Amino acid sequence: MKKIKIILVLISLISLLLPVFANAKQDQEKPTRFKVCADPYSLPSSNKKQEGYENKIAKLFADDLGVPLEFEWFPQRIGFIRNTLRNNDTPDESYKCDIVMGVVENFELAATTKPYMHSTWAMVYIKGRGLDDIKSQEDLANISPELKEKLRIGLFDRSPAADWLYQYGLMESATPYQIMMGDARSYPGQIIEQDLVDDKINMTFVWGPIAGFFANKIKDHEVVVIPLKSESGIRFNYKIAMAVRFGEKAWKEQINQLIDKHQKEINKILTEYGVPLLDL
């Protein structure tokens, strides 16, 4: 009788664990599509023509997995994760997508993979317009009063550059720009290829990948890009990872393995886009 009770208990335990095993197996199954959430107008990272470095890395991964690559386009503004990665409001209740290719390491709204890129903000100006003696952030911090009067710095709100300029008494030389403009087709690189080129401003601070990409695009001028170093209380450098949904551990590990496998190819893509890379 005692043996029968033990057998019944074991059967009950197995029946309870079967759904867990089934879910684990399903979580580890190879995906049938590589579904990416991305901004349609945000070069150099991504756009609808799939010309960005995130688009290229996504294709690299999809090709490795041997599955079709699909994009769910949505402006990367407030609500982006809620409307894409976490959104399963579809006829078959599947999620709009399964991965975001570029978020800050330890992003709060999703689980993050290991980082695949480490870059920093940069100072940008056009050579030959009176600022050539500024070769580092130290030079700008110690700028002469005469040259300071000539500064017209395009400055994005809520950026580490704003804190840095305030610390060194340069805010009077700044022209404010919104980092998230009302038009979803607007992109931060316009500050370089339009306002900086047209001499509406003579210097700006932008995220390094944006600086390097648009500096390379401009052929009529030599654009100087100076990567910035973090200082006490002001952080310029960030590691970039990929985002997946919380709880999808097997999928996250699969992406980590793809990053490890293709890191050299990823670095090559980023270098081709002019991204200032720091050690991971």
Q: Are 80 and 37 contacting, i.e. CB atoms less than 8 angstroms apart?
A: yes
How many CA atoms, within 13 angstroms, populate the side-chain half-sphere of residue 204? 32
Q: Which CATH class is domain 118-237?
A: alpha beta
CATH number of the domain located at residue range(s) 8-117+240-272 in this protein = 3.40.190.10
Q: What is the mean pLDDT of residues 109-127?
A: 98
Q: Which residue, 137, 174, 144, is CA-closest to 159?
A: 174
Q: Which residue, 121, 97, 126, 102, is CA-closest to 112?
A: 102
Name the percent of the chain lying above pLDDT 90: 79
Could you give the CA distance from residue 139 to residue 280 in angstroms, rounded to a whole number? 27
pLDDT over 90 at 28, yes or no: no
Could you give the CA distance from residue 191 to residue 180 in angstroms, rounded to a whole number? 13
Could you give the CA distance from residue 144 to residue 202 in angstroms, rounded to a whole number? 16
pLDDT over 50 at 23, yes or no: no
**How sure is the predictor about 120, in pLDDT bands with cuts at 50, 70 and 90?**
very high
Q: Which residue, 40, 124, 115, 50, is CA-closest to 75?
A: 40
Extents of the domains making up the chain: 8-117+240-272, 118-237
Q: What tens digit of pLDDT does each residue of 66-100 get?
A: 999 999 999 988 889 999 999 888 887 889 999 99
Could you give the CA distance from residue 242 to residue 264 in angstroms, rounded to a whole number? 17
**Tokens 């890129």 appear where?**
117
Q: What is the mean pLDDT of residues 205-234?
A: 96
Which helix (H) or strand (E) segment holds residue 145: the answer is helix 145-148
Could you give the CA distance from residue 34 to residue 70 in angstroms, rounded to a whole number? 6
Q: What tens digit of pLDDT does each residue of 225-270 get?
A: 999 999 999 999 999 999 999 999 999 999 999 999 999 999 999 9
**Tokens 């401009």 appear where?**
218
pLDDT over 70 at 180, yes or no: no
Which residues share a beta bridge with 244?
Answer: 111
Q: Are 85 and 100 contacting, i.e. CB atoms less than 8 angstroms apart?
A: yes
Name the percent of the chain lying above pLDDT 70: 88
Q: Are 243 and 233 contacting, i.e. CB atoms less than 8 angstroms apart?
A: no
Question: Helices then strands (H, E): number in the chain?
Answer: 9, 12
Could you give the CA distance from residue 194 to residue 188 in angstroms, rounded to a whole number? 10
Q: Do domains 8-117+240-272 and 118-237 have the same CATH topology?
A: yes
Could you give the CA distance from residue 124 to residue 225 in angstroms, rounded to a whole number? 5
What pLDDT was estimated at residue 181?
62
Pairing between strand 99-104 and 34-38? parallel
**How sure is the predictor about 1, in pLDDT bands with cuts at 50, 70 and 90?**
very low
**How sure is the predictor about 182, in pLDDT bands with cuts at 50, 70 and 90?**
low
